[in-house]
Homo-oligomer: A and B are copies of this chain.
């Protein structure tokens, strides 16, 4: 435990977790574009002795469709390596015997095929985009306020994201709306929830201090991973902003130009 800081900590790592959008690729028209060097960086990690997982808050498509897009971009990646909020929510719902009212994007609905949705006793919201109509939000509200113990799950808590036609409100905004309407606190499934990072660690069979998260979102990727006991490194791609490097509450263990650079530093430290 001599080297606990970045990059010295890389020597004792056993696993790496990668955020996807903004780290592997930039979204945009069609499939978007791979960030230069990222395809090769993933290949290098896979050839190393480190375990590798991918962790995204993407909730507009099923994992299958999302992974197929990444494969088309050239990434060596499979569904079993990817952690996203919808399957995590399904696990929570089944474990607790909950029947959700869903307010999500149409593309992610198949993830919930195996869940009983009759006579709902909780509400699950995702990045529903245009499905966040007044009528649909009001319907979710009526379900919640009609429950003896209102229970709201939010697949992430993002404020907004960027698409080719401009900024778009993300799920966190509607989470706050329903929290206020019903005077409750939602349970977030996805980053930055510790439970979500822990499920990735469990899958790798690692302790938090043995794993490193690499992401472009300082609060949700880096801060979330750190709160869980993992190391967190930020890349200067995707939604990175220079002000992140003097953030009032979250300080990354390291900041690197991009995924390619971070992987080279890690493998160098490990003597590759």
Contacts and interface: CB of A to CB of B under 8 A. Distances in A.
Interface of A: 128-135, 137-138, 141-142, 145, 159-160, 166-169, 172-174, 176-181, 183
- Report which residue of A142, A160, A169 has the largest number of chain B beta carbons within 10 angstroms of its beta carbon: A169
A129 to B, nearest CB: 6
B173 A177 contact: yes
Contact of A142 (B133, B167, B176): B167
B134 A169 contact: yes
Contacts of A130: 134-135
B131 A169 contact: no
Given A130-B135, A131-B134, A135-B130, A167 B145 contact: yes
A181 B157 CA distance: 10
A71 to B, nearest CB: 31
B180 A176 contact: yes
A28 to B, nearest CB: 18
Contact of A133 (B133, B141, B168, B174): B133
9 contacts: A129-B134, A131-B134, A133-B133, A138-B168, A141-B173, A145-B167, A173-B178, A176-B180, A177-B177
Contacts of A172: 180
A185 to B, nearest CB: 13
A128 B135 CA distance: 12
Contact of A141 (B128, B160, B176, B180): B160
A177 B178 CA distance: 9
A238 B176 CA distance: 27
B169 A138 contact: yes
A129 B138 CA distance: 9
A169 to B, nearest CB: 5
A105 to B, nearest CB: 11
